[in-house]
Amino acid sequence: MSVEVTIDPSRIARLLRRRGGRVEQKLRQRTERTANIAQQLAPGSMGDYITWKVQDGPRSLQGVIVCDHPAVHYVLNGTRPHLIRPRRAKALRFEVGGRVVYTKLVRHPGTRANNFLGRALREGR
């Protein structure tokens, strides 16, 4: 007595990639883990602006992590030295060593790039 088994790779691939399937579950776990790492690595309150989701991509499901903080571009890419002037007020106000300081111009030294999203992606594997 012999038994014939036919394996259809396309059916197996569809089964694995269907919504709610094993691949989506693992992708959700990885995406959430990576987003949590990004929240921990993000400076200041930037981690509060990080969200994640799993969605249909061009070929299959994809995990997406988004940081929609208004300054995220400057943190990820850094800034060159630049001048800061008040836009509407007559002076800028900030604290230095516990003292309140007013000035019309600040020479900002720039900031080094902090690609916390890239580091989270590497650590979240």
Tokens representing residue 66 in the block = 């988004």
Q: Which helix (H) or strand (E) element contains residue 23?
A: helix 22-41
What is the tens place of the pLDDT at every residue in 64-85?
999 999 999 999 999 999 999 9
pLDDT in tens, 90-114: 999 999 999 999 999 999 999 999 9
Q: Domain segments of the chain: what residues? A: 9-123
Find residue 65's DSSP bridge partners: 52
Digit-coded pLDDT (tens) for 12-32: 777 766 777 788 889 999 999
pLDDT at 21: 79
Phi, psi dihedrals of residue 55, rounded to the nearest 5°? -140, 170
